[in-house]
Structure 1
């Protein structure tokens, strides 16, 4: 930490008052006390720029004070060209790692950097996907996956110099106890269309099991492992694993069950595999599909709807369970989070400030934000 109990959140683009307002909303979401909020400082910078765009003296000052870094800055926009994904995900990794080296060289024995990657650095690989594997010459479904692998390779190379831990979460869903979530991507985008009766067909392999993991499980795991000396130099799959994952048939069934319980009056559409739609769908279904925003959503997420990934996470789950961190029930979490998304109007209910935060998050996509503590 820069000082005992003090944290710094680096944010790009917005003026400091706007950044401070976003931090205040984030602190309120996290339930921080007034004293805890007072320990968090907003710092205007861009982690993809050399020295984060800071004056050299300030950058060196921070490097001399910081004892822990969590690098979560990333763009998760699957549609970006490779050059733009690299600017967000690789350039930021390079600069954060340079900062971490400077922190370590200044002789803080307890300095710990934490690097958040993604389980989907596996790209198009199939079969047993282990934590020890990284670049196996795989192809990728999108620039996001490729740029995240390139960033992770840089982090792995830095392990010889700094006591770094790499985390690979899968697809994040809401908190297991309340269903809360801040960014309504993936499943929640399909839920929004279903609620509005704008999902004329379902296109997915019904038996495929996507890897969904509650956000509090991921956060609890990272916080615990960041304090364990033996976690330095290791890679952790923060995933559910196939045996604890739900099929798309069950996931979409649960979605429409919750909508029905709330009196939505929305009927579950017919389900097709990709490649079957044009041959088997009715003319009315085809017309609605081609005019629906679902078509664009399917184009974005198709690789994750057609197949499943078998992430090796057994050893990590055993290690976390020994510390009392157990993977929550995925179906229960998804049901709670579906209700939370509907009740919160996907993060916009309650106040205009919350709506503005949601819009800001969607526009920036976290691509130039990092946290140091």
Structure 2
């Protein structure tokens, strides 16, 4: 009689979110393993209901309804918060019913805010939270710790970014990038067996175009749409007669990567990839910044933009858009490419590639705009609102 190996147990933070949810679905699809997820809730039962709702929604969005039984049978939640210093004391609740400790820990939860005014919250989530989950992992017997960071810890540096640690926070464009760099350093110094996974700008599912959260590219789309609507409300058809200037280098890469591509490579790396290693989960088939911005402008009712190099060429009206997209500014001017040597050593050459031409960019943006319309929203969610008080005098000369 052949002995069978019992299913492994994974712990995941952020499983109710966009990237973490995709990781959970990929693990359910590719392994027989069980998932224990840290989820906010009044108790474990409430947290588990929230987890099942989130993963069920993701399965529907990504057209994998066959995973619904696995979600119900092989996932459960422990109610908790990564910002809670007492989290390590809850370690026993993450063990399997027979007492088996998890063999792999996936830390995906993070704050994606970036403004200095949110610095305390961002640090609490991305630095203190990472410390707390590292301590939880130690209390669980030191499972392999797969830490999800961002390729943009590269900050203001340009050129080819290798799969290695940046070493400091001096090149960071904002507090978000700085805290993700510190988080990586904490992982490397933890004494745990670790891997660092660095996605680039994550967008919807490659097949369905669907997403379950709307940051990154979707926030830029929202800003363009809200800008157009605000200008029309204040100045009528002004934007039908002029190109809006935008500070960007149209020829550099805009590294957009579908969420399922990220999840597929992450799970492959998490099963067989070398420890103590950084892996870029970006897209080898990315479009250019110019292609993305031009498609977004066209689909949100704006004329083709005029690419400029400094704020001195912007009118008071243009500066409103510039202020509204500040989070994205560094991605539009600091050209960089991400080495995939380590990722390809596990996943194979070309595995981390999805060719995004203009038609594909349009497909993802159209899905999002259709979602906004079907939700009946009068305006799209965005990081900034647009008010033009005191700018009416520039309308006549804003050509």
The TM-score, its normalising length taken from structure 1, stands at 0.76
Q: Name which of 106, 123, 136 aligns with 1:70.
A: 106
1:62-98 Cα deviation digits (max 9, x unpaired): 9953222110011010114443322111111112112
Give the aligned partner of residue 75 of structure 2: 40
Give the aligned partner of residue 232 of structure 1: 275
Q: Which moves more between the two structures, 164-173 or 245-254?
A: 245-254
Counterpart CA distance in 2 for 1:245 and 1:205 is 15
Q: CA deviation at 1:187?
A: 1.9
1:90-147 Cα deviation digits (max 9, x unpaired): 1111121122223335xxxxx4321111111222223332112330563311111111
Q: CA deviation at 1:149?
A: 0.7
Give the aligned partner of residue 303 of structure 1: 330
The TM-score, its normalising length taken from structure 2, stands at 0.71
Give the aligned partner of residue 119 of structure 1: 151
Q: Name which of 184, 189, 207 aligns with 2:214.
A: 184
Contact residue 125 and residue 138 of structure 1 kept, 8 A = no
Contact residue 6 and residue 39 of structure 1 kept, 8 A = yes
Aligned counterparts, 1:133-212, within 5 A: 133-136=165-168, 138-158=170-190, 161-195=191-225, 197-198=228-229, 201=244, 202-212=246-256
Contact residue 220 and residue 328 of structure 2 kept, 8 A = no
Give the aligned partner of residue 3 of structure 2: none
Give the aligned partner of residue 291 of structure 2: 250
Give the aligned partner of residue 351 of structure 2: 325
Q: Post-superposition, which runs of at least 4 consecutive aligned residues in structure 1 deviate over 4 A? A: 1-4, 13-16, 53-57, 59-64
Q: CA deviation at 1:287?
A: 4.5
Contact residue 295 and residue 362 of structure 2 kept, 8 A = yes
CA distance 1:195–1:147, shift in 2 (3 Å): closer
| SS in structure 2 at match of 1:101 | helix
Unaligned runs of 5+ in 2: 1-7, 11-31, 60-64, 232-238, 384-399
| SS in structure 2 at match of 1:237 | strand
Aligned length: 328
Counterpart CA distance in 1 for 2:94 and 2:51 is 23
Contact residue 120 and residue 145 of structure 1 kept, 8 A = yes
Q: CA deviation at 1:45?
A: 0.6
CA distance 1:115–1:171, shift in 2 (3 Å): same
Higher relative contact order (CA 8 A, sep 6+): 1
Unaligned runs of 5+ in 1: 106-110, 353-357, 363-373
**2:364 is the alignment partner of 1:341:** no
Q: Name which of 128, 148, 153 aligns with 1:91.
A: 128
Contact residue 200 and residue 257 of structure 2 kept, 8 A = yes
Counterpart CA distance in 2 for 1:137 and 1:118 is 14
Give the aligned partner of residue 101 of structure 1: 138
Contact residue 149 and residue 197 of structure 2 kept, 8 A = yes
Counterpart CA distance in 2 for 1:59 and 1:316 is 30
Aligned counterparts, 1:217-228, within 5 A: 217-228=261-272
| SS in structure 2 at match of 1:49 | coil
Give the aligned partner of residue 367 of structure 1: none
1:203-257 Cα deviation digits (max 9, x unpaired): 32222322221211110001111110x422211011225xx33222111223345
Contact residue 253 and residue 335 of structure 2 kept, 8 A = yes
CA distance 1:255–1:66, shift in 2 (3 Å): same
Counterpart CA distance in 2 for 1:40 and 1:56 is 17
Contact residue 265 and residue 352 of structure 2 kept, 8 A = no
